[in-house]
Structure 1
Amino acid sequence: MKKIALSLSVLATVLVSAQSIKTNIDLVNVKDDKVAVTMEFPKMKSGDIKFHFPKTVPGTYSVDDYGRFIEGIKFLDNKGKELTFTKVNDNTYSLKNAQNLTKVTYLVNDSFDDEMDTSKHKAVFSPSGTDIEQGKVYMINTHGFIGYIDNMQDVPYQLVVQKPTDFYGTTALVDQDKSESTDTYVLANYAKVTDSPLMYTKPDYITFNAGGMDLVLGVYSPTGKYKAADFKENLEKMVVAQKKFLGDMNTNKKYAILLYLSGTDGPQIKGFGALEHHESTSVVLPEMMPKDAIDKAITDVVSHEFFHTVNPLKTHSEEIHNFDYADPKMSQHLWMYEGGTEYFANLFQIQEGLIDKNEFLKRINEKITNSKNYDDTMPFTVMSKNVLLDQYKDQYRNVYEKGTLLAMCLDIELRKLSNGEMGYRDMIRKLSQRFGENKPFKDDKLIDELVTVTGYPQIKDFYNKYIAGNQPTPYAEYLSQVGVEIGKQETPPIFWLIKDPNQTGYNEKNNTFVFDESSALSPFSKSVGFKITDEVLALDGKTIDIKNVQAFINYSKTIKEGQNVTLTVLRKNGDKMDKIDLKGKAILDKLTMETLQYKANPTPAEKKLQDQWLTGKK
């Protein structure tokens, strides 16, 4: 029996190879930080074809134009003769009378090197980007390396990666050969290609089982500061809690985590976070972070990506199921895909005992505060459907703030309607049972489906008012139902450049502080003409040293009201950055902040609903 099984396996591989698009990525012969890719096609069914690289990919909500990182492209017939083509745009090539097309070759530049120069194009979010560092690491988000032909997206791909013999590829894919110098993977279609990131580097990985699921964690730490084993304990604890929280909603038997830690000597990237896939996630974080901060990021960020295995990876609308990489059509329901997922990423931590009830309330309070930086009257469905357009894209980050809060309020609404018998998690479970990975719902019929699976038509009113409508969500009203009230707290007067200091970031390349463009400016910043896109280089001549950033912060705390202050900034001026001194008198900003607190004497009904909300028990 073993011999027969082996023969059938070999035969199947041969058949797949003959009928598939064979793609070779060469990580051995790398020149000038460019990787050669060759794609070989089965016989063309049409003479006129279009070859594409993605404009964007699922899970990202921005126009990234991955074709702009491609150069030296050649289309060849079965005799090796170059075919003429027309470059339609950054991502698309058109060929006429190309029945004999058999091969395309090209070079790939990485996106990480491009992140700090946004003069021509917005940077690609790092976890969905690519990195080519010869002898060190190759971050292969496959949509940045591999293209497709119209009407051939359902053809299988055979991916062959030529690699240095001392490199290991972290991925959820299964290597089909035993060679030390090549890895071979078989993928069902182009969607599976883009769903399968790989990270090649010198081996630093661990494998283990948690919650009945096999995990592999691969780590790239440029200085060797961290090893994969450093994060096992926290990761294992998180996965067990998530699997328990999800129950039968998650059926994953394996999962890969590609953790890329960005150093100070490599590409100066700034898009930290993660990108979800069915069986893996790619994560980018700064190597300078303390271990406990990385552990927290893994719990908060990686858990968010893992929850995406339920929504939208397995429960989604037709727009996602039939994703058009060249001309993407977006869904109306980012409130559920991202907001609901972010809600899960916080809710599971309180319900599974990873955080306490006060920390949970603190997080909800931060979401409310952050949501005030966005347009609270913009219908979420409209923003979501049009998120790739300039007039809406600046509102996208609100999916993680207001989107989370919408899911929370809907959770409370359902619990009140059902006397605690049903919540948001139950609704998503029922929706995933009604639909699934291969059965999408119609985008404009989602609310009707939610009414069907919950049995509560009242939630349609909630949806029409606060999700599809322009009414601000009454958070205080919903939180009161679970025994939570809003209090007031005054902060000591502070000197800073934006209202919320937590929205301050760091640009490693320029050694500057940068700010979320949605941040509100402080009174001092307004008085001296500071722009939110300015990068802070120095304060009264004191420059920023990231290794001792606390000294800079401590100095800012010594500044008194009316004190003369000189703020040195870098300001974008076309393709260059101008160094400018902004001078003025310090204005200390005393903020009155709203805080959430549990009621000292909630009613019995409020206390019961609160307990059900925080524990998940009925």
Structure 2
Amino acid sequence: MSPTVVRYRVSLPRPHTHLLEVEATFPEGEATLDARMPVWTPGSYLVREFARHVQDVTASTVDGTPLLVRRVDKQTWRVDAQGQAVTLRYRVYCNELTVRTSHVDGTHAYLNGACVFVYTDATRELEHHVTVDAPPGWTSFCALGQRDGAFVAKDYDTLVDSPIEVGPHTPLTFSVAGVSHEVVVWGDTPADPERLCSDFQRLCEVQARLFGGLPMSRYLFLLYLTDKGRGGLEHQSSTALLFPRTGLATGRGWEDLLTLAAHEYFHLWMVKRVKPRALVPFDYSKENYTALLWAFEGTTAYYDNLIVRRAGLMSAQRYLTRLGETLTALHSTPGRRTQTLAEASLVSWVKHYRPDENSPNSAISYYLKGEVVSALLDLELRRATRDARGLDDVMRLLWERHGDGSGVDEDGVEAAASEVAGVDLSAFFERALRTTEELDYSVLSHVGLEANFRPRESASDRGGTPPKGKATEARPKGWLGLTLKGSATVATVLDGSPAQDAGLYAEDDVVALDGWKADGAALVARCEDKRPGETVRVTVFRRDRLLEVPVVLGAKPAEAVWLSRVDRPTEAQKAAYQSWLGAPWDEAPGAA
């Protein structure tokens, strides 16, 4: 056995118990061996305490002589190694099917390295080998190369960044820029796997052209089709995608899957290689703070729709509709007036990933506002350079200078953008990142567009489209100012709303309106039938006590946003629009 290798053996003797058995062997050298389990996984900025799922830890020499092992804190096991090689054996409970955790059952095993493999500080830079003892008929899939039947990672960081899927799967394959790509699907196989591969291939090709090639020798998509849930987590040469299987049957659902895949693939460059310097190297034992998540996640969110558009899988008009929906989500969040975008990035550890009933009032998503700021930045760059350059050039500049993983300083993205623009953009960034002022949408005029605002027309109204008719605008509708969950439970009472002023609470269960039974949908509809200034009586159960709360209705705020074209565009605006979205100004709405 090589003295310079950390070796793991993983087995699943009883997958229905959701238990994974791990054997970790560390080479000789340490007098005291402290084996640690990460508390978070890169790409998901929340302390998840993975060690809570570890049990039955024992230690021995490689020849089997037992060694004393004791737990010294929430994540560390200490062995008096006396310089000998040490083998730790432990089991991990894996029954949380998300892209950030691990899941083992009778159908498969998804192993996310941060919650499976312990490490030591002294051996993090060594090669790490993983052998998987798969059940009969199952195959192990991982982006890592193999040697002598083991997956080989050059160091612990690479191992953590290389999830393993084990199961009776048959992968789908395609190639981009000479690089092999595999798609491994758990759950029901999509009805049209050829379309899935074809569309994924087009998304990857667009990004390969943007950056001038691919930074890896092979790539693995792990796609988990479930009954609910949506999410993705990027890795160095792979990604895990969680998506509701029913969504694949609708046009919007398919569009959402493509944007999710495009988002995670974009992270091959931004996050996995170009990353904030504050994350170099990762500290797996605690929070790693940076104010740059708006750029690395928000900018990626901007590109995910744009890449689908560039791949010809979304029309220009549909792209504008989705951007309007994003703007609507931003303007429907009172927290944008409370938390800056830079702060949202910095405190994601306690805000974004730990939402509560007051989060819409106190916080803003760095994904959401970051996407909008990135769109405006792209247009600012295009306006400053007369469409000679744009955000693509900033991405390529960051890739050229920081693609080696050395890290970007906290002001590095702003400096790169100003360099590309050829003008000082500090005023733009100061307003967008470090104040809670409303964003300036006047730059939309560069591409012949303008932002319009209207009240939402129903609870399901996402915005993005103009009002349906003049009747909608003619009579103001009554507004309570709360959101609901389930059939009639108050989820959030919005800041400054009539409901807040009247004293309605989150977790109130709505029973009736003006003495008549009302569930959530009826409550909203019947309030909208009334006018601002009218008083309604909302009957609720609060901690099992029946209460009646009078509420003076307000006017529905104009928070739904849609983008429209200016009436008399100049030729310069038409050309700028086409340069940005790759579609002629006069293209028919809905055309690809």
How does 1:455-466 map onto structure 2 within 5 Å? 456-466=422-432
2:445 equivalent among 469, 477, 480: 480
Residue 20 of structure 1 pairs with residue 1 of structure 2:
no
Q: Which has the larger displacement, 276-285 or 321-330?
A: 321-330
- Between the aligned partners of 2:484 and 2:198, the Cα distance in structure 1 is 30
2:246 equivalent among 288, 291, 296: 288
Q: Give the C-alpha shift of residue 396 in structure 1.
A: 7.3
Q: Secondary structure at the match of 1:43?
A: coil
Name the counterpart of 2:93: 109
- Between the aligned partners of 1:311 and 1:240, the Cα distance in structure 2 is 16
2:300 equivalent among 341, 344, 347: 341
2:173 equivalent among 197, 207, 213: 207
Q: Secondary structure at the match of 1:28?
A: coil
Residue 608 of structure 1 pairs with residue 579 of structure 2:
no
CA deviations on 1:484-515 (whole Å, 9 max, x unpaired) are 222243444669999999x9888xxxxx7999
2:123 equivalent among 131, 135, 152: 152
1:439 equivalent among 402, 406, 421: 406
Q: Give the C-alpha shift of residue 33 in structure 1.
A: 2.0
Name the counterpart of 2:60: 76
Residue 388 of structure 1 pairs with residue 349 of structure 2:
yes
CA 1:110/1:522 → structure 2, altered by over 3 Å: closer, same or farther?
Answer: farther
Q: Give the C-alpha shift of residue 250 in structure 1.
A: 3.7
How does 1:142-221 map onto structure 2 within 5 Å? 142-177=113-148, 184-210=150-176, 212-221=178-187
Contact 1:498 1:520 in 2 (8 A): no
Name the counterpart of 1:127: 99
Q: Secondary structure at the match of 2:376?
A: helix
Name the counterpart of 1:276: 234
Q: Secondary structure at the match of 1:148?
A: coil
Percent of aligned pairs with the same amino acid: 21
Normalising by structure 2, we get a TM-score of 0.80
- Between the aligned partners of 1:278 and 1:200, the Cα distance in structure 2 is 19
Q: Secondary structure at the match of 1:128?
A: coil
Name the counterpart of 1:575: none
Q: Give the C-alpha shift of residue 85 in structure 1.
A: 4.3
Q: Which has the larger displacement, 47-56 or 225-234?
A: 225-234
Residue 375 of structure 1 pairs with residue 341 of structure 2:
no
Contact 1:485 1:598 in 2 (8 A): yes
Q: Give the C-alpha shift of residue 109 in structure 1.
A: 0.7
Structure 1 unaligned blocks of 5 or more: 1-13, 114-125, 178-182, 264-269, 507-511, 544-551, 572-577
Q: Give the C-alpha shift of residue 214 in structure 1.
A: 1.8
Normalising by structure 1, we get a TM-score of 0.77
Contact 1:300 1:345 in 2 (8 A): yes
User: Which amino acid in structure 2 is aligned with residue 33 of structure 1?
Assistant: H
Q: Give the C-alpha shift of residue 189 in structure 1.
A: 0.7
Q: Give the C-alpha shift of residue 371 in structure 1.
A: 2.1
User: Which amino acid in structure 1 is aligned with residue 225 of structure 2?
Assistant: L
Q: Give the C-alpha shift of residue 188 in structure 1.
A: 0.7
- Between the aligned partners of 1:513 and 1:74, the Cα distance in structure 2 is 51
- Between the aligned partners of 1:227 and 1:143, the Cα distance in structure 2 is 33
- Between the aligned partners of 2:68 and 2:494, the Cα distance in structure 1 is 49
Q: Give the C-alpha shift of residue 204 in structure 1.
A: 3.7
Name the counterpart of 1:400: 367
Residue 356 of structure 1 pairs with residue 340 of structure 2:
no
Q: Secondary structure at the match of 1:112?
A: coil
RMSD: 4.0
Contact 2:46 2:353 in 1 (8 A): no
CA 1:393/1:558 → structure 2, altered by over 3 Å: closer, same or farther?
Answer: closer
Residue 232 of structure 1 pairs with residue 188 of structure 2:
no
Q: Secondary structure at the match of 1:439?
A: coil
CA 1:611/1:234 → structure 2, altered by over 3 Å: closer, same or farther?
Answer: closer
CA 1:524/1:318 → structure 2, altered by over 3 Å: closer, same or farther?
Answer: closer
Residue 421 of structure 1 pairs with residue 394 of structure 2:
no
2:39 equivalent among 30, 35, 55: 55
User: Which amino acid in structure 1 is aligned with residue 94 of structure 2?
Assistant: D
* Residue correspondences, number: 550
CA 1:541/1:214 → structure 2, altered by over 3 Å: closer, same or farther?
Answer: farther
- Between the aligned partners of 1:350 and 1:429, the Cα distance in structure 2 is 20
Residue 305 of structure 1 pairs with residue 277 of structure 2:
no
Structure 2 unaligned blocks of 5 or more: 356-361, 462-477, 531-535, 585-592
Name the counterpart of 2:358: none
User: Which amino acid in structure 1 is aligned with residue 448 of structure 2?
Assistant: G
Name the counterpart of 1:8: none
Contact 2:158 2:236 in 1 (8 A): no
Q: Give the C-alpha shift of residue 400 in structure 1.
A: 1.6
Residue 91 of structure 1 pairs with residue 75 of structure 2:
yes
Name the counterpart of 1:266: none
Q: Give the C-alpha shift of residue 459 in structure 1.
A: 1.9
How does 1:481-520 map onto structure 2 within 5 Å? 481-492=446-457
Q: Which has the larger displacement, 313-322 or 437-446?
A: 437-446
Name the counterpart of 1:42: 27
How does 1:438-587 map onto structure 2 within 5 Å? 438-452=405-419, 454=420, 456-467=422-433, 469-470=434-435, 472-492=437-457, 529-531=504-506, 561=529
Contact 1:175 1:185 in 2 (8 A): yes
User: Which amino acid in structure 1 is aligned with residue 212 of structure 2?
Assistant: D
CA deviations on 1:291-325 (whole Å, 9 max, x unpaired) are 33552232111110000111011212322231111
Contact 2:183 2:222 in 1 (8 A): yes
